[in-house]
Each structure stands twice: as C-alpha cells, then as structure tokens.
Structure 1
Amino acid sequence: MTGSSSADRLRRLRWVLTALFTVMNAVGLIGFAWFEIGRDGERAVARTDAELHRVTSSISRLVGFDGTIDLSLVTADVLNESCPQFAILPGGAPAFKAHVSRHVCVPMDIGVLNGMATEAVRTGRTAVGYQRGVHGELVRVRVEPLLDRTGRNYIGAVVAVADTRPEQERHDQLVLLVCAGCLLLIGGLGVAGYLLSGRAIRPAAAALQQQEILLAETAHDLRTPVAALRALAETALAHPTERADLLPRTVRLAARMGGIIDDLLVRARLAAGVEQLTIQPVWLDQLVAGVVDGSPTEGAQVTVTAAPTKVDADPALLQRAIGNLLDNAVRYGRQPGSAAIVHITVAGGTVTVADHGPGIDPAAAGEAFDRFSSTGGSSGLGLSIVRWVAEAHGGRLSVYNADEGGAIFELTLPVSGR
C-alpha cells in the first residue's frame, strides 16, 4: 500500500483551506442576507400599515355626526378617489347607509369587511390583519371604530384595504437579487480562497520542491563518485600490491565527494534563506588570487590577469563561487589527452574564467543554472552554487562559447562604493 506524496497532500490541503474559507464566509453572508430579507419584509408591512393608518385616521376626522352620519367632507376628499380604498360601515351600530370609496383598488366582499367592522365596534379596538379579495388576492386590512362627539358611543367603523401584491413583487425581486448576489459572492469567495490558500502554502510548496531537487541532485552527483570509490576499494582488496597507488586516488575521490556534499548544503541553505550574507568591501583581485593559489590545479595551466577591484560581497560565499568556477574549468575545460588551460581575468567587478575545453551545449547556454551540463560531463551543481551566490549579491552569472573554442564564464558583482 503506497501513501500519497507530499505534493498530493499539499494539493488536498489547498482545497481544504479553500472549502473552509468559502464555507465560513458563505455562512456569514447567507445569515446576513436572510436577516436583511426578513427586515425588508417587515419594512414592507410597516409601510402598508402606515398607509392604512393614514387613510383611517383621516377619514375618521372627516366623518361628521349630529344624530345622523354626515359624509359630505368624505366624498369631497381626494382619498375617496385613490388607493388604499376604504369603506365606512355601521358594523352593528345604529344603521346608516354604508359608504365605499369610488376607486376600487382590489375587489372585496362587503360582507367580510362589515363583519370586521362589527367586531371593531363591539370591542372598541382597532384591528389590523390579512384577508382575501374576491379573486383570492391577499390584502392588508385596518379597521378603526368611529366614536360620536361625546367619545362614548361607537357609531360605525372605517375599514381601509391595501393590495399587498406591489410590495410582494418588490420584495420578491429583492430576494432574487440578494440570492443571485450571494451566489456570485460565494463563487468569488471560492476563487479568492483558492488563490489565498495557494499563496499561503506557496512557501511550503517551494520548500518541498527544493527538498526534492536537493535529494535528486544528491543522488545524481554522488552516484558516480560512490561507484568509483567502491571500485577502488574492491581493487585494493583484490590486489594488495596496488594499494599504494590506489590510496591517493581514493583520497582525492573522497575529497571530491566532500566538496559535492558541501555544495549541496550551501545551496540548500541559500534556497531556504538560512544562509545570512555578511556583506563587506572585498578586494576581488586579491580574493581570486588567493583562491587560485590555494586550489589544486591537477597539472592545469592557470593564468590570472587582475586589476584592483573592490566589490561588496560575503567573502566566504564569494570564495566558494570562484573556487567552483576554477574547479569546473580545471576539471572539464580540457581537450582529451592534454592538461587544462585556464585564463582568469578580474576587472570592473567581473571575474571571467575561460578554458580551452569542448565548450558548452548551446541549447543549455540560455537556460538558468539550476542544473548546468557541459559537454565534458559536468553535473553543474558547482555552477548552480555560483549562480545562487551571484543572485544573492545582486549580480549575475553569464556563460558562452569562445570563437576559438572553450567556455567562458562571467561572474559580475556590484562594485563597492566605499
């Protein structure tokens, strides 16, 4: 049974974070939308009731009573021609002829309205509620009892009726707009959550990628020297008389493996941001001369032409970068059967290392130095370290082939202003 890879787990984590972000925000958004829809419904009822109250209170003041009902002011008022419609009904009080406003906004059964008026007269209380029109329309009704001038006897009731369909249609449109807006916002939240979660796990993904690259490079770069070291050991066991000759080769091979491991560790620390640069003014010409004097050249002919140049750099990392360029040129910058010839030039913050080897692959020359390959078989890890050091100092590493043959590497660093 095989478990999922770290990359798969990171992808699942991204989707989980996206889902959590979207769901949490969607719950809050839906709750707010639900609250606002409810508030809008309440406001719609309140607006309708306010209109009904305006009609019943106004009509109540216009009704005259001096032993008989006087509706002359009512019939002359503009409310008699507009909505909401109303009716003045006896409701079981001393009988008088009912009055219904001229403009019919919604057909109503007068018997239903009179029944509500009768209840209001009996209880002496204003009543508000819903009823159905003749054709089943839902209407809002307000019944307000009428008092005579003494304020002790009820003489009838004013019943105002408002059609709820306009407010309901407006409310339904709002609900549709809110629902559509919520869907769009939730979709946007999902996209935003996906992008934000990707940004959140990007450092982990980058670290994982660097780890995978480091492991791959470790296996690649150590495979050949380990095999060679094993072959030397087996030869020494099988032929004891040759041990004296094999021992120096074994030591050099072990030193090479140590250098590969050191380069891998430096690159890993640079990639992880653990390596802290100690920037200070450095005489580049003197540093290069010191590296050349302290490096084994294995019989190679190395010449240095340098002009005094001061750069701002970390001396330890810069020494490693120069050493890697020199080691690459000495190891791979030679023709078969001959010693390497290397020319190093230092001027204006640039270190140029030229060799007389087979050159580099033109297809690889334009690529980054993540894994650089030369025709001589270089693993390119040392050049990768050089590239990392250059970029860490704000410089660059360039490579191209010379017209007369061989590879040329240029390491450019910022010139010190001090």
Structure 2
Amino acid sequence: MTGSAADRLRRLRWVLTAVFTATNTIALVAFAWWVVLDDSRQGEAELDAQLTRVTTAVSRLVVYDRAVNFHLVNTDELDQGCPQFAILPGGAPPFQAHVSKRVCVPVDNAVLSSLATSAVRRGGVVDGYQRGTGGELVRVRAEPLLSPDREYIGAVVAVADTRPRQAAHNRLVLLVVGGCLVLVGGLGVAAHVLSGRAIRPAAAALQQQEVLLAETAHDLRTPVAALRALAETALDNPTQRADLLPRTVRLAARMGGIIDGLLVRARLAAGVEQLAIQPVWLDQLVAGVVEETPTDGAQVTVTTAPTKVNADPALLQRAIGNLLDNAMRYGRRPGEEALVHITVAGGTVTVADHGPGIDAALAEEVFDRFSSTGGSSGLGLSIVRWVAQAHGGRLAVYNADEGGAIFELSLPVIAP
C-alpha cells in the first residue's frame, strides 16, 4: 500500500465505511425481500380466502333433486357481489349453467369451462392464475359439486380480480425500495461518522508521532551538524582536541536535553504523563534548580519568599529549568554576559533577563513549537506552558520597561 500513513488511515476510514454500509445493506435488502415476498403470499392467501368463501357457500346453495336447482343461489347476495362465480357442468351430465349477475372482471367462458372440467375430473379443488379477456391477471378457484349420491354433477368456479391487491403490493414495493434507499444513505453517513470516531485515537496518535518526528528532526539538525563539524575539526587538527572536547560534551548534553524535552512534550500531549501532585515549597524548588544549573558565565540572582503549591516536583523542575536555560541563552545583549533575576512569591515564579526582549506581536507565538525570538525551536517554552496548564496555572511573557523579557509562571498556592 502506497502513500503516507495519514493517507492510508483516510483510506481505511473509507474501507470501514464501505464494509459497514455493505454489510448492513445486504441485511436490509434481505429483510426487504422477505417483506415483499411475505406481502405477496399474504395477498394470494387473501384472494384464496375470498374465493373459498364464495365456492363453499355457493356449493351449499345448489339444490340437486334429479336436476340442478339454483333458486337459492339467485336470491343470495353472493350472486350480485365480487368475486364473481359460475356453476358449470364441467363434463358431468349437462345442465343449464349459472353465471353470477355481476361481472367484476370479464373472463372467457371457455376458460371457466376448462377449469370446471379439470375440477370434476380430478375430484378436487383446482386453483391458480388465469387471464381475463382484457389481459387482466385473475385468481381462480374451481370446486367440484357432489350430489347426495356422491356423484360429481359439476363445479363452482369463482374468479377474483388481482388488480386492487396488486396495486397495494406495488405501493408496498415502492415504499420498501424508497425506504431502503433512504436507510442505505443514512447507514453510509452513520458508518462514515462512526468509522471516523473509531480511527480518531489512531489519527491523533499518528499526528503526535509525526509531530514528534518533525520536532526531533528540526531540533537536532543544527546540533548534529555542529557536532559533526567539531568532530571533523578534531580529526584534522589533533592539537585542538583538548579545546574541542569540552565543547563536544556540552553539545552532546544539549542534544540530550532536546531529546528529553521532546519526550516530555509528547507524553504530555498524549496524556500519558501522570502528575504526581504533592505539596511543594516553590521557593526551595526554584533555589535548588538554580543551584544545580551550570551558569556558563551568566549572572543569576534569586529572591524568594516562602510559597507552597500543589505540583508535580519533577515536571515543575523541568519547567523552571527551561525558563532559566532560555533566559541564560537568549537573555543577553551582544558582547555582554547574561543577567538573569528570578523572583518567587505568591505562587508566581518571575524570570527576568536583560536581553533584546520580545516583539509584542510575537509574544503569544513564542510558546508555540518551532517559534522563538532567539533562533531556537521554542520547544522548552511550550513545555513550560503545558506544565503550567496541567497544574491549573498559566505562563505569561512581556517586556520590561528598561529592556529584557519577563516570564511569569503562576501556580495556585496552598492556603495557609
């Protein structure tokens, strides 16, 4: 399968949509087919019930006393209703045939006579479909007549017009087909929505993975190139190896810090980083971070007041370390050493430097990935903001009146 992982994931969504829709469509079509067939069987059963009622009732009205007598048939309401019927000899001793007064659907007498003959010869009921004189489809039933001596003397043939029932059946078919089309469309939409929700975690994980890879490549490109340049210089100039080795170690440490930062960002974004919340003396934690961080010639001063917050110490240390590292690296003017002052009070850590400051139009973007006023990836500051938000706090940045940038990390304090 070709294409990017995102493209394959999108194709997977369409495949899931197609499979879900096809599966449900097959089941829906099978159910619709059963409904149509069942309605057809019920329609046929209704017509047969009407015909049976007529032939049975008329058979009882026929009087035979050495001759066939229809006086009871002539006075019955069946003789003027539908389905229509005819009483015919059907090959038995001939008598004057009787046809009901109302013609509901015209049928050739030869067809009726043939049905009567079949019923008499078979000695049982004959039913089925025939065509009227106008080509209409009719349902017929021929029931033989028995004399008191148990001899066949003719047959009653009833005829029912199928057009009203067929029209109702056709309406049902149209309704079922239309309903199936609507349901299939609805199933397709529902399948697309559900498949989208189903692959959403995978899409999010894939996006995070792609972002992490992009950030890793972006942040490591420059230090890797610098590390290679140092190694090549050391190979070409053995006498400079003693000077180049410390720079190589610092560069390798910086690369390790970049990787650690990327992993922390990925874990925070994925929601797998579990906060170990506990009461923390913020002033002591900041002082410890400053004491353990190499200043590389920068002047760092700290002013603190006792402040206790609920926080994850490890993540908070990383956030403070990122703020301090950012101030020492970029908070200096050309040709001057970095001056950084940290203040801790009221649950807020303020880190001020004497650098060029931050463009007001880019103050918010400085926390985004790959954004920084000093040429870095901006990843460290984005981690600081994520840590602040994870603790219910915030990170703000603005410029001091006398110059330099000021970062404020504010956390909820524990009431005394």
Matches within 5 A, 1:59-74: 59-74=58-73
Q: 1:218 to 1:59 in 2, by over 3 A?
A: same
Residue 120 of structure 1 contacts residue 127 of structure 1 at CA under 8 Å; is this kept in 2? Answer: yes
Moved more, 374-383 or 183-192: 183-192
Q: 1:73 to 1:3 in 2, by over 3 A?
A: closer
**Aligned residue type for 1:222:** L
1:128 matched residue in structure 2: 127
Identical amino acids, percent of aligned pairs: 75
Of 256, 265, 268, the match for 1:267: 265
Deviation at 1:238, TM superposition (A): 4.9
**Aligned residue type for 2:96:** K
1:106 matched residue in structure 2: 105
Residue 325 of structure 1 contacts residue 383 of structure 1 at CA under 8 Å; is this kept in 2? Answer: yes
**Aligned residue type for 2:252:** A
Matches within 5 A, 1:87-98: 87-98=86-97
1:184 matched residue in structure 2: 182
Q: 1:213 to 1:53 in 2, by over 3 A?
A: same
CA–CA distance in 2 between the matches of 1:366 and 1:83?
Answer: 87
CA–CA distance in 1 between the matches of 2:100 and 2:415?
Answer: 96
CA–CA distance in 2 between the matches of 1:43 and 1:417?
Answer: 79
**Aligned residue type for 1:89:** L
1:386 matched residue in structure 2: 384
CA–CA distance in 2 between the matches of 1:283 and 1:277?
Answer: 17
Q: 1:142 to 1:414 in 2, by over 3 A?
A: farther
Give the root-mean-square deviation of aligned CA atoms: 2.7
Residue 366 of structure 2 contacts residue 372 of structure 2 at CA under 8 Å; is this kept in 1? Answer: no
CA–CA distance in 1 between the matches of 2:98 and 2:376?
Answer: 108
Q: 1:398 to 1:97 in 2, by over 3 A?
A: farther
**Aligned residue type for 1:341:** L
2:275 matched residue in structure 1: 277
Residue 84 of structure 2 contacts residue 102 of structure 2 at CA under 8 Å; is this kept in 1? Answer: yes
Q: 1:264 to 1:62 in 2, by over 3 A?
A: same
Deviation at 1:363, TM superposition (A): 4.6
Moved more, 252-261 or 88-97: 88-97
CA–CA distance in 2 between the matches of 1:351 and 1:48?
Answer: 91
Moved more, 241-250 or 54-63: 241-250
1:311 matched residue in structure 2: 309
Q: 1:384 to 1:242 in 2, by over 3 A?
A: same
Of 219, 222, 226, the match for 1:221: 219
CA–CA distance in 2 between the matches of 1:395 and 1:340?
Answer: 28
1:294 matched residue in structure 2: 292
**Aligned residue type for 2:309:** V
Q: 1:239 to 1:92 in 2, by over 3 A?
A: closer
Q: Give the aligned length.
A: 416
**Aligned residue type for 1:136:** G
1:360 matched residue in structure 2: 358
Structure 2 unmatched runs, 5+? none
Q: 1:10 to 1:356 in 2, by over 3 A?
A: same
1:75 matched residue in structure 2: 74
Moved more, 59-68 or 282-291: 59-68
Q: 1:226 to 1:151 in 2, by over 3 A?
A: same
CA–CA distance in 2 between the matches of 1:101 and 1:417?
Answer: 103
Deviation track 1:278-325 (CA, whole Å, cap 9, x = no partner) reads 222222232222212222233334344444333332211111111111
SS in 2 for 1:186: helix
Residue 395 of structure 2 contacts residue 407 of structure 2 at CA under 8 Å; is this kept in 1? Answer: yes
Q: 1:38 to 1:416 in 2, by over 3 A?
A: farther
**Aligned residue type for 1:84:** P
Moved more, 204-213 or 120-129: 204-213
2:50 matched residue in structure 1: 51
Residue 361 of structure 1 contacts residue 374 of structure 1 at CA under 8 Å; is this kept in 2? Answer: no
**Aligned residue type for 2:5:** S
**Aligned residue type for 1:203:** P
Q: 1:416 to 1:190 in 2, by over 3 A?
A: farther
Structure 1 unmatched runs, 5+? none
Matches within 5 A, 1:119-268: 119-148=118-147, 150=148, 152-268=150-266
Moved more, 69-78 or 120-129: 69-78
SS in 1 for 2:222: helix
CA–CA distance in 2 between the matches of 1:78 and 1:304?
Answer: 114
Moved more, 132-141 or 122-131: 122-131
Deviation at 1:3, TM superposition (A): 4.9
Q: Is the aligned partner of 1:328 residue 2:321?
A: no
2:342 matched residue in structure 1: 344
Residue 360 of structure 1 contacts residue 373 of structure 1 at CA under 8 Å; is this kept in 2? Answer: no
**Aligned residue type for 1:29:** L
CA–CA distance in 2 between the matches of 1:326 and 1:379?
Answer: 16
Deviation at 1:236, TM superposition (A): 4.3
Deviation track 1:116-173 (CA, whole Å, cap 9, x = no partner) reads 112212222011111110011111001112223x261233222111111222222222
Moved more, 99-108 or 291-300: 291-300
Residue 359 of structure 1 contacts residue 374 of structure 1 at CA under 8 Å; is this kept in 2? Answer: no
Q: 1:417 to 1:78 in 2, by over 3 A?
A: farther
1:374 matched residue in structure 2: 372
Q: 1:16 to 1:164 in 2, by over 3 A?
A: same
Q: Show structure 1 runs of 4+ deviating over 6 A.
A: none
CA–CA distance in 2 between the matches of 1:220 and 1:51?
Answer: 85
CA–CA distance in 2 between the matches of 1:399 and 1:172?
Answer: 74
CA–CA distance in 2 between the matches of 1:345 and 1:147?
Answer: 118
**Aligned residue type for 2:93:** P
Deviation at 1:52, TM superposition (A): 1.1
